[in-house]
Amino acid sequence: MKRKRIGYLALFLAMATTATACSGNTNGETTTPTDSSGKKVELKFATWGNPAQLELYQGLFAKFNESHPNIEVKIDSIPFADYQQKISVLAAGRELPDIAWISERMVPQFMANDILGDITDVAADPTFNRDDIIPSTLDLFRKDGKLYGVPFSTPPSVVFYNRDLFEKAGLTSPNELAEQGKWTWEEFVKSAKLISDGPTSGRTYGANFFRDWKTWIMLASYSWSNGSAPFKEDMSKFTWNDAYGVETLKMLQTMMFVDKSHPKAGEQVSFESGKLGMIFDNYSFVSKARTIKDFKWSIAPMPSGSQGTVPMMGQAGYVLFKESKHPKEAKELIKFLAGQEGIQTTSAFFVPPRQSVLGSDAFLKQEGNPDPADIKQAVIDEMPKAKVQPGHIQWQKIDTEILSGFDRLFGQSGAPEEILKGIKEKVDPLLNK
Amino acid sequence: MQSTVVNREAGVKKRRSRSPLDRDANRTGWLFVAPMVLGFALLLFIPLMMALYMSLTDWPLLGKASFVGLDNYQAIFSDKEFWKVLGNTLYFAAGLVPLNIGLALLLALPLAGKLPGMGLFRTVLFIPVMTSLIVWSIVWKYMFATDSGFINQLLQLLGVTGPSWLYDESLAMPVVIITSVLKNVGLNMVLFIAALQQVPVHLYEAAKLDGANKFTTFFRITLPMITHTLFLTIIMTIIGSFKVFGQIYVMTQGGPVGSTEVLVYYIWEKAFKLYEFGYASALAYVLFIIILALTLLQWGLRKRWVMHEG
């Protein structure tokens, strides 16, 4: 009898502890219920924007409120790293906001989940002036002849570089080299090496490809600029294990361990600290770079390969969720945000998908921006050549597997050829799931 | 379901003794435990049963779930990743438990004394237990950072170039273990101090008279007299080490190359990153069974070595 009771106690103990182990991990924000008293409508808007961007949106919403006094917009801010996951969980709990930001890599999943609302009629509205939008930027959001989103940011990847460090090393600026057609990957590696200086701790590094050690996709530009790609066009195969993929990893390996011109895994060297010659990032990083006061910087096109330059095109857009209780009002808001005035305002931070705004002062001459000539060279002239980051329903898994491969490169526990072969074995089955 | 139990029990009591006082006391008693019972049912029992059901489906978070029977459990046993993750979890436990218990005991021995200033040391060593695990892990992540980390800068002063602690497949797990030991050693230490202070003084006096040296006294008197606490701390620490998640999530995200991917992190990843809720629930039940089995095993072995038992 006594033994039985002890058994129960043990069972309970184990149960209770497992339960707490699993329950502690998902504390999301609790959402307050929207009260729709009278005719007033409250729209919820999800974004991963930074504080400066949120402030800009507050201003936009106030403007929108003037013409639509009954519509109130509430911002729900979610960090980018958790964004896709949080939206998926909200969708499962039927607590989705009305409209949201969405980035290119999330589109395949959300389309497959069938949670996006059809907004074809927004773009068809003559006041929206659809023809002004660069046509290719809408491809991502189109499915079966219907439109499920509109872009507000179409940034190509660029090289942000520290002009002071380039001058100190006596190097020609990447802009000038690009002008002469000499800004190649070899030149990039050489410049990075010459900029690097100092002891192991507190060293000044020539370049960093990664943001938070995650953005390996920036390296795809090497293969693209040589006429190859990490994936087959239709995303049915991993092809980075070809000669160009191996060259990409070898370049990184050389920079990390031979030239010591690239930080080692785990080092937190930021561009803002002035200890980094170049970083690869979307143009959107400009909002952060503008706050730099200690050194001069600018932007340049990505280095070129045998086929010229091919930057990576990031894309972010507005979507309406199917389950919104106020689709009419939400569409009005999207029309305003992605319309002329909205895009004009947000171009303070984002590369506008509207032709008319792209060449305007609102985009080019923001306070703290680099020389408009550099923006023209690195952004506007590069956009037609850019490739949209590949997406896939299994992207999260694919991303994890590839990062795992890079871990091995960083830890020097495998040769590039062998690492890429290992990734291919893991990723190919995922692509065909 | 809970209420039928209440009624039946109350009914039995009524037949046995018809005193209205008893009946009242009974009702009052249930009223007193009602919040706990309700809380347990709503927050633990029902979710646990739902998770059990979920583990028998292929619920993908968004979209329809279909019943798949024991397929998920079958899949676990042929999942190579699972065995690797289980191995990592055992590695973590095998590193953490002896280190934690050993260090706690080592610290408790001098601190159990009545020397002045001991209270201060006890407090200092207990502070990490009260600190948020996330904050603790973030701080230690920075301490072990490759370039600007405190530890590597110290090594630099000694002329040694420190490794990339958290990005090295063979170093990441030991780092996480050490961080976890330092976080929780205070709790076990306090338990040991309490146990040590309850060992009757006359036993030590007798040992002294018999000419026992310090080692003999420790192994023949101190250790046997605190076995019940030792038992408790070992069980709790083992269970805790199987549940490790926060420090992994913050410090390594299961990397590099999955070398710190432990069971709970794997469950979290399957559920909230890859949306395989059915499979994740099945994994959670496997974890539950492992912990249950370990606890029962220790309970069974207890009589062999815990004083005052059997």
The pLDDT tens digits of the residues spanning B192-221 come to 999 999 999 899 899 989 988 888 888 888
pLDDT at A152: 95
**Which residues of chain A register pLDDT less than 50?**
1-4, 9, 16-38
For residues B179 and B255, membership in a common domain is answered with yes
For residue A74, give the H/E element and its range. strand A71-77
- The pLDDT value recorded for residue B17 is 54
Interface touch A200/B164, C-beta < 8 Å: no
pLDDT at B212: 87
pLDDT, averaged across chain A: 88
Check A267 against B145: CB less than 8 A apart: yes
**Domain check: are B82 and B44 in the same one?**
no
Interface confidence, given as ipTM, is: 0.74
- B61 in any annotated domain: no
**C-alpha span between A406 and B60 (Å, rounded):** 29
- Residue B62 domain flag: no
Residues of B in Cβ contact (< 8 Å) with A16:
44
Residues B28 and B115 in one domain: no
Q: What is the pLDDT of residue B15?
A: 53
Tens-digit pLDDT profile for chain B (310 aa)? 444 444 544 444 445 556 777 778 888 888 999 999 999 999 999 999 999 999 999 988 887 888 998 999 999 999 999 999 999 999 999 999 999 999 999 999 888 877 788 888 888 989 999 999 999 999 999 999 887 788 988 998 888 888 888 888 899 999 999 999 999 999 999 999 999 999 998 998 999 899 888 888 888 889 889 988 998 899 899 999 999 999 999 999 887 888 999 999 999 999 988 888 999 999 999 999 999 998 898 888 877 777 665 4
- The verdict on residue B5 lying in a domain is no
Same domain, B172 and B257: yes
> Both tokens of residue A226?
């040589």
Helix (H, G, I), strand (E, B) or coil at A59: helix
| Domains, in order of start, for chain A | 3-155+314-358 (3.40.190.10), 157-310+388-431 (3.40.190.10)
| CA B137 to the chain's CA centroid | 17
* Residue B169 belongs to some domain of the structure: yes
* Distance of alpha carbon A46 from alpha carbon A75, whole angstroms: 6
Residue with tokens 């919403």: A61
Q: How many domains does chain B have?
A: 2
Q: Which residues of A touch B274 (CB under 8 A)?
A: 396-397
Compare CB distances from A10 to B63, B156, B296 and report the shortest one's residue: B296
- Domain-embedded: residue B265: yes
Q: Do B147 and A269 touch (CB under 8 A)?
A: yes
Domain that holds residue B36: 14-54
Q: Examine the domain organization and report whether B242 and B185 are in the same domain.
A: yes
Looking at the complex, report in whole angstroms how far the Cα of residue B178 sits from the nearest Cα belonging to chain A.
19
**With contacts defined as CB-CB under 8 Å, which chain A residues touch B275?**
88
Do residues B99 and B24 share a domain?
A: no
Contacts of B148 in chain A (CB under 8 A): 201-202, 267-268
- Same domain for B29 and B84? no
Report helix angle B172-197 to B80-111, nearest 10: 40
**Environment class of B92 (CB within 10 Å of its CB; exposed 0-12, middle 13-18, buried 19+):** buried
- Spatial distance between the Cα atoms of B137 and A225, rounded to a whole number of angstroms: 41
Q: Do A266 and B145 touch (CB under 8 A)?
A: yes
A192 with A351: CB under 8 angstroms?
no
pLDDT at A212: 82
Amino acid at the residue A279: I
A282/chain B closest Cα distance in angstroms: 25
Partner residue opposite A14 with nearest CB, options B47, B61, B288: B288
Residue A112 burial by Cβ neighbours in a 10 Å radius (0-12, 13-18, 19+): exposed
CB B143 within 8 Å of CB B150: yes
Looking at chain B, which residue has its C-alpha nearest residue A201? B147
pLDDT at B4: 45
pLDDT value for B307 = 66
Are B294 and B245 part of one and the same domain?
A: yes
Same domain, B248 and B190: yes
Q: Are residues B226 and B165 in the same domain?
A: yes
Residue B264 lies in a domain: yes
Please give, rounded to a whole number of angstroms, the shortest distance from the CA of A209 to a CA of chain B: 17
pTM: 0.80
Q: How far apart are CA A350 and CA A379, in angstroms?
A: 11
**What is the reported pLDDT for A50?**
87
pLDDT value at residue A10: 52
CA A99/CA A336 separation, integer angstroms: 13
Clarify whether residues B85 and B200 are in a common domain.
yes
Q: B24 and B159 share a domain?
A: no
- Cα–Cα distances in Å, from B214 out to A407, B109, B217, B218, B219? 50, 12, 5, 6, 9
CA A170 to chain centre: 33
- At B239, which CATH number? 1.10.3720.10
Question: Residue written as tokens 């280095």?
Answer: A303
- Among the partner-chain residues B161, B256, B268, the one whose CB lies closest to the CB of A407 is B256
Task: Residue B25: count other Cβ atoms within 10 Å of its Cβ.
Answer: 12
Q: CA A427 → CA A89, A394, B108, distances in Å?
A: 25, 10, 51
